[in-house]
Amino acid sequence: MGEAIVTPEERYITLVEAFLQYPGVVQEGKGFGSSALKIGGKIFAMLVRGRLVVKLPRQRVDALIASGHGERFDPGHGRIMKEWLTIDQTAESKWQALATEAMEFVGSQR
């Protein structure tokens, strides 16, 4: 038999459960219309239209886009977000690592 298919929503729930173990991380409110993970009151990761979106330094976002791991986040109002990466579905295995990087980045901006 083949492996069970894990939906992005199920993968995100697992990610949220893991991150809620970190001090200061909460899941509350809405970010760009979706449930979001926050640290210090600021969003660092969220699920939007079935894709993980994380906040990282602009240069890191540029590098990840260049390597084919995602694209800049467009919240839908025509303004591309320079520090936000929408992770490509082929890079779902990187969700945990990129979300950890995002949490550390946002947490250091206090």
Using the Cα atoms of residue 76, residue 27, residue 8 and residue 10 in order, give the sign of their dihedral: negative
Domains of the chain in start order, with CATH, are: 8-107 (3.30.1460.30)
Residue of 101 and 74 predicted with greater confidence: 101
Burial 25-52 (b: 16+ CB within 10 A, else e): beeeeebbeebbbbbeeebbbbbbeebb
Q: Record the tokens describing residue 57, joined without a space.
A: 């330094």
Instruction: Write the pLDDT tens digit of every residue in 81-107.
Output: 899 999 987 777 899 999 999 999 999
Determine the average pLDDT of the residues in 4-31. 87
CA distance 39 to 49: 22
